[in-house]
Amino acid sequence: MSLIVSDASPVHYLVLIQAVEVLPKLFSKVVIPEYIVSVELQNPKTPLSVQEWVRHLPGWVEVRKPSRLESLGLQMGEEHAISLALELSAPVLLDEREARKIAEARGLVVVGLVGIIERAASRNLLDIRAAFAALRKTNFRISESLVDAAIRRHVSVKPPQT
């Protein structure tokens, strides 16, 4: 297992669908930029369950500030996450399309929320259909075709139960 740097969105939605506990089972440590913890995840508009989670961060979360901030023309949280991932030579957990493109162009391994759900399901850490059903009840924007494809991939690699 390795560490991963996360932007706010994936953590936010994993908390909302009550699946954030898959992260320490997939990665030894999750690094979240200080800016994201202090500003984005504690914004008064952020759901109370997410704010509460941030107030009581588990031991597998490390909050850090990048030593050098990359100016990438993105939102601050995404810039902080990419900067930290570059600094730590770590994969980055991002969902926003433009941020993902920029991170990949900089040589980073990028994982999104769908990828985390798929990885967790493949290790029997969650039920993929239930996770996507819970995600659909939030304001997370995801195409049905992407969800269907993820479920098909999971079902096609899972051995039949007897």
Find the helix or strand (DSSP H, E) in which 120 lies: helix 113-122
pLDDT of residue 70: 80
* pLDDT band at residue 116 under the 50/70/90 scheme: very high
31 and 90 Cβ atoms separated by less than 8 Å: yes
- Which token pair is 55? 């107030």
Residue 91 has pLDDT above 70, yes or no: yes
The string of pLDDT tens digits covering residues 43-69 is 889 999 999 999 999 999 999 999 998
* pLDDT band at residue 143 under the 50/70/90 scheme: confident
Residue 113 has pLDDT above 90, yes or no: yes
Report the pLDDT averaged over residues 135-154.
86
Mean pLDDT for all residues in the chain: 90
% residues pLDDT > 90 (the chain):
72
- Alpha-carbon gap, residue 26 to 147, rounded angstroms: 21
CATH number, position 54: 3.40.50.1010
Crossing angle between the packed helical segments 144-157 and 128-136, to the nearest 10 degrees: 170
Domain count across the chain:
1
Domain that holds residue 139: 1-162
- Alpha-carbon gap, residue 123 to 53, rounded angstroms: 24
Q: Report in angstroms the alpha-carbon separations of 58 from 1, 21, 27, 31, 91.
A: 18, 9, 13, 12, 20
More confident residue, 162 or 67: 67
Q: What is the DSSP string of 23-58?
A: HHHH-SEEEEEHHIIIIITT-TTS-HHHHHHHHT--
Residue 160 has pLDDT above 80, yes or no: no
